[in-house]
Structure 1
Amino acid sequence: MEIAIDSFIFITCSEEREADLIGSGSKGGVDKISGLPDDILCHILSFLPTKYAVATSVLSTRWKYIWTSVPILDFDASLHQEFYPYLNIYGSRDSEITFQSFVNRVLLLNDIPQIQKFRLVYKCHYSAPPIYTWLHVAISRDISELELDFYLSVPKEFIKLPNNFFVSNKLVVLKLSRMPLIVPSVVILPMLKILEIRSVLYLDDKCTQNLLSGCQGLEELVIEEIAREKPRVINISIPTLKSFSFSYKFVIDISVDSPYKFVINAPNLEYFHVKGRISDDFVVRSLASLINVHLDLRQTAVLADNYNFCHQRVCNLFEGIANAKFLTLSNDIVQLLSAAHYPNLPRFFNMTGLALGIGIDFRWKRLVTEFIKCSPDLEVLTLNNKQQEILRDVEELRRSPPEAMPEYLLSHLKDILIQELYSNFLPEDVEYLVHDVNVLKRLKIDCQCSFMLISQIGHIIPDLSD
Structure 2
Amino acid sequence: MMNGPSTEDRISCLPNAILCHILSFLPTKYAVATCVLSSTWKLVWTSLPNLCFDDRLCLEFQRNLDLSTVASTRFENFVNRVLLSASGNINKFSLRCCGLVDSSRLKLWVSFATMRNVCEIEISLNDDECIELPHCIYTCKTLEVLKLDMNFFIKTPPTIFFPSAKTLHVILNTIDNNFSDWLFSKCPALEDLSIKGYIYGTDSVTLNIPSLTLKRLRLELEAPEEDYITKYKVIIRAPNLEQLYIRDHGPGLYAVHELHSLTKAVVDYGIECILDYDSPEDVAQADVAQAVVDMLRDIKNIKSLSLSSGTMFALDRLDYANDHSFPTFPFLNRLEVEGVGACGWQSVAHIFSRMPRLESIVFEEVRM
Q: Structures share a fold, TM > 0.5?
A: yes
Q: Is 1:111 matched up with 2:124?
A: no
Equivalent residue of 2:314, what SS?
helix
Q: Where does structure 1 differ by over 6 angstroms across 4 or more consecutive aligned residues?
A: none
Match of 2:285 among 301, 307, 315: 307
Say if 2:197 and 2:220, in contact at 8 Å, map to a contact too: yes
Give runs of aligned pairs for residues 259-408 of structure 1, distance below 5 A: 259-277=231-249, 279-299=251-271, 300=274, 305-342=283-320, 344-361=325-342, 363=344, 365-386=345-366
Q: 2:166 aligns with which of 183, 193, 207?
A: 193
CA offset at residue 103 of structure 1?
0.7
Map 1:36-51; keep pairs closer than 5 Å: 36-51=14-29
1:280 positional shift: 0.8
What do the CA deviations read for 1:402-453 (whole angstroms, capped 9, x no partner)?
Answer: xxxxxxxxxxxxxxxxxxxxxxxxxxxxxxxxxxxxxxxxxxxxxxxxxxxx
**Which of 46, 50, 68 does residue 72 from structure 1 map onto?**
50
Question: In the TM superposition, what are the counterparts of 1:26-37 in structure 2 within 5 Å?
Answer: 27-37=5-15
Work out whether residues 324 and 350 of structure 1, in 8 Å CA contact, stay in contact via their aligned partners in 2.
yes
In structure 2, the residue matched to 1:445 is none
| Deviation of 1:188 (Å) | 2.7
SS at match of 1:41: helix
Quick one: structure 1 residues 209 and 32, their matched pair in 2 at CA, closer, same or farther if it must change by over 3 Å? Answer: farther
Residue identity in the other structure for 2:230: S
Greater RCO (CA < 8 Å, at least 6 residues apart): 2
Deviations 1:262-319 (A, max 9, x none): 1111111111111113631111111121122111112235767512211221121011
Contact 2:228–2:250 (CA under 8 A) maintained in structure 1: no
Q: Which runs of 5+ in 1 are unaligned?
A: 1-19, 21-25, 389-466
Task: Determine whether 1:245 maps to 2:226.
Answer: no
Which string of whole-angstrom CA distances, capped at 9 and with x for unpartnered residues, describes residues 97-130 of structure 1?
A: 1101101111111111x21111111133375551
Larger Rg: 1 or 2?
1
Q: How far apart in 1 are the matches of 2:102 and 2:143?
A: 29
* Offset at residue 235 of structure 1 (A): 0.9
Quote the offset at 1:27 in angstroms.
Answer: 1.4
Point out where structure 2 has 5 or more consecutive residues left out of the alignment: none
Q: Distance in 1 between matches of 2:19 and 2:243?
A: 38
Aligned match of 1:95? 71
**RMSD of aligned C-alpha atoms?**
2.5
The two structures have a TM-score, normalised by structure 1, of: 0.71
Structure 1 residue 184: Cα displacement: 3.4
Distance of aligned partners of 1:380 and 1:303 in 2 relative to their CA distance in 1, 3 Å threshold: farther
Q: 1:267 touches 1:289 (CA, 8 Å); kept in 2? A: yes
Task: Find the aligned partners of 1:207 and 1:370 in 2 and give their Cα distance.
Answer: 39
Shift of 1:340: 2.5
Counterpart of 2:35? 57
- Match for 1:44: what amino acid? I
Give, in angstroms, the shift of residue 61 of structure 1.
0.8
Q: 1:236 to 1:345 in 2, by over 3 A?
A: same
> CA–CA distance in 2 between the matches of 1:375 and 1:340?
18
